[in-house]
Amino acid sequence: MTRTLIRGGLVITAADEVHADVLIEGGRIAALAARESDTAAGWTADTVIDATDRYVIPGGVDAHTHMEMPFGGTVASDTFETGTRAAAWGGTTTIVDFAIQQMGGSLRAGLDAWHAKADARCAIDYAFHMIVADVNEPVLKEMDILVEEGVTSFKLFMAYPGVFYSDDGRILRAMQRASANGGLIMTHAENGIAIDVLVQQALAAGKTDPRYHGEVRHALLEAEATHRAIQLARVAGAPLYVVHVSAQQAVAELITARDQGLPVFGETCPQYLFLSTDNLAEPGFEGSKYVCSTPLRPREHQAALWQGLRTDDLQVVSTDHCPFCFTGQKDIGVGDFSKIPNGLPGVENRMDLLHQAVLDGHLTRRRWIEIACATPARMFGLYPRKGTLAPGADADVVVYDPHAEQVLSAQTHHMNVDYSAYEGRRITGRAQTVLSRGVPVIQDGAYVGRAGHGQYVPRGTCQFLG
Ligand code: URP
Ligand code: ZN
Ligand code: ZN
Ligand code: ZN
């Protein structure tokens, strides 16, 4: 068995910060021991990585990505190969992507299609959620089987009528099923029916620019849908995970529910923490680069998101990585904002942006690891194999240089998309070496990984429930 030793770093997990050496054996963490302890001094290894003045952290777990997803008349521009490579560059070692059930199709067919895209192509480990587009009796039965097999979470859409939209009755039925089989329902909480009325009215009034995307997708229509999803989950006796929360009024709904002791969880994304409607209003067609749903909000909303992350009313930051090129994809919506493919790139930037948030005083270092690694792993049944550094865990380890300076740019990023949503932003901190199950993927700032190294990981059920 190959042995790797990471010496001299500050090991940070959600629970602790300790100066410790980490011994890796056969792809797993074998042991940790205090720096300069007799135990650590006695260790030998085939490879020794010097982590002096560096952090040693668990690889990031990005629980919300859409690699090569067909959407808005085009396909998200990162494949599983390019997207997972970019993720590794950014210190992320596991993604949970969304397989999609086609209208009239089975969950199994959707899952098979996503395996066909991902298997043998990923640089890092991957798992799947299932987008349920068409709730019916056979599909409800299939949910039970998927939970058994390790696809334990299901996204239902209250937005996008005619595409992924489910009405309240269908959502309730899926929640009842999840309540019985241990699955976790995830909702895209926006009132899509009302939004579509506002979209048509805006277009009829000649409001076609990207910024109107933000105006018609009103914060109150996110809050309303969040409230409704919570009540439906409560009636069904099911836990609920609300994806990509952006509105402060939606955060308030989550706080109310959690104060009542309900098993309700919330995720936000870097774009809502760092970007705003100011970006959507950039001149020309630049605003299209920032079109995603839920939409970017006015700056005032950001304080509620940061506070929610600190108070644990929001538990996870994932990227909702869904890249579309500015040229040839976003421009489908020139003259009609409703045709701009929805989604932002970010899988490579999440760990670094959140490290910057530590430096800016929004988060502690341990909370950074908690919201980016440990909690997503627990939420989606991957812990402690993923999300922490403990004996027995997969050796998904990042040696992180907290002093490295970088400028985010499309010129230097590794995502297969022709722009960066964070172009020109200065960040302190960067992954220096990234191991996936003990195997180097990034080594001293160079990619040494391999498409196909990444393995599919069947998941357990949510570990925040009884
Ligand atoms: O704009 C977004 N979020 N695109 C990806 C699909 C979704 O709703 O998550
Ligand atoms: Zn130190
Ligand atoms: Zn969504
Ligand atoms: Zn998404």
Question: Residue 341 pLDDT > 90, yes or no?
Answer: yes
Which ligand has the nearest atom to the CA of 53? 2
Which atom of ligand 1 lies nearest, measured to the CA of 188?
Answer: 8
What is the Å distance from ligand 1's center to 335 Cα? 21
Segment 7-22 shows an average pLDDT of: 98
Residue 29 maps to a domain:
no
- Name residue, tokens 């932002």: 344
What is the Å distance from ligand 3's center to 140 Cα? 21
**pLDDT digit string (tens) for 53-102?**
999 999 999 999 999 999 999 999 999 999 999 999 999 999 999 999 99
Which atom of ligand 1 lies nearest, measured to the CA of 243?
Answer: 9
Is residue 66 lining ligand 1, measured as CB closer than 6 Å?
yes
Helix residue spans in 98-247 (DSSP H): 107-118, 137-149, 168-181, 192-204, 211-216, 219-236
| Residue 341: how many other CB atoms lie within 10 Å | 24
CA-nearest residue for atom 4, ligand 1, is 343
Residue 78 maps to a domain:
yes
Which ligand has the nearest atom to the CA of 19? 2
Question: Residue 169 pLDDT > 90, yes or no?
Answer: yes
Predicted complex ipTM exceeds 0.90: yes
Report how far residue 333's alpha carbon sits from residue 17's, in angstroms, rounded to the nearest whole number: 48
CA atoms within 13 A on the CB side of 395: 24
SS3 462: coil
Handedness of CA 267, 273, 278, 281 (dihedral sign): negative
Q: Which residue, among 184, 194, 202, has the nearest Cα to 221 in the 3D structure?
A: 194
Give the pLDDT score at 132: 98
What is the Å distance from ligand 4's center to 319 Cα? 8
**pLDDT digit string (tens) for 364-414?**
999 999 999 999 999 999 999 999 999 999 999 999 999 999 999 999 999
Which residues are close to ligand 2, an ion, with C-beta < 5 A?
A: 10
Range of the domain at 272: 59-379
Question: Residue 466 pLDDT > 80, yes or no?
Answer: no
Which ligand has the nearest atom to the CA of 295? 1
Give the pLDDT score at 65: 99
CA dihedral 327, 328, 330, 332 (to 10 degrees): 140
Residue 319 maps to a domain:
yes
What is the Å distance from ligand 2's center to 158 Cα? 47
Q: Which residue, among 326, 263, 260, has the nearest Cα to 291 in the 3D structure?
A: 326
Q: Which is more confidently placed, 197 or 1?
A: 197
CA-nearest residue for atom 7, ligand 1, is 293
Is residue 341 lining ligand 1, measured as CB closer than 6 Å?
no
Report how far residue 291's alpha carbon sits from residue 279's, in angstroms, rounded to the nearest whole number: 9
**pLDDT digit string (tens) for 187-219?**
999 999 999 999 999 999 999 999 999 999 999
Residue 441 maps to a domain:
no
Using an 8 Å Cβ cutoff, are 332 and 339 in contact?
yes
Structure tokens at 399: 């040696």
Segment 14-42 shows an average pLDDT of: 97
Q: Which residue, among 60, 18, 28, has the nearest Cα to 391 in the 3D structure?
A: 28
What is the Å distance from ligand 2's center to 55 Cα? 8
Structure tokens at 108: 């199994």
Q: How far is CA 163 from its chain centroid?
A: 22
What is the Å distance from ligand 3's center to 293 Cα? 6
Give the pLDDT score at 1: 86
Q: What is the mean pLDDT of the chain?
A: 98
Residue 266 maps to a domain:
yes
CA-nearest residue for atom 2, ligand 1, is 343
- What is the percentage of the chain residues whose pLDDT exceeds 70? 100
Report how far residue 117's alpha carbon sits from residue 223's, in angstroms, rounded to the nearest whole number: 35
Q: In angstroms, what is the C-alpha Rg of the chain?
A: 21
Residue 100 maps to a domain:
yes
The count of structural domains within the chain is 1
Residue 206 maps to a domain:
yes
To which H or E segment does residue 155 belong? strand 153-157
**pLDDT digit string (tens) for 143-152?**
999 999 999 9
What is the Å distance from ligand 3's center to 153 Cα? 14
Q: How confident is the model at residue 124 (pLDDT cuts 50, 70, 90)?
A: very high
Which ligand has the nearest atom to the CA of 318? 4
CA-nearest residue for atom 8, ligand 1, is 293
Specify the CATH number for the domain of residue 84: 3.20.20.140
Using an 8 Å Cβ cutoff, are 1 and 27 in contact?
no
Residue 358 maps to a domain:
yes
CA atoms within 13 A on the CB side of 465: 23
Question: Residue 426 pLDDT > 90, yes or no?
Answer: yes
Question: Residue 20 pLDDT > 80, yes or no?
Answer: yes
70 beta partners = 75
Q: How confident is the model at residue 327 (pLDDT cuts 50, 70, 90)?
A: very high
What is the Å distance from ligand 1's center to 452 Cα? 26
Give the pLDDT score at 193: 98
Structure tokens at 168: 């309240």
Is residue 342 lining ligand 1, measured as CB closer than 6 Å?
yes
Among 131, 342, 417, name the best residue to mutate to test ligand 1's pocket (greatest count of ligand atoms within 8 A of Cβ). Answer: 342
Which ligand has the nearest atom to the CA of 403? 2
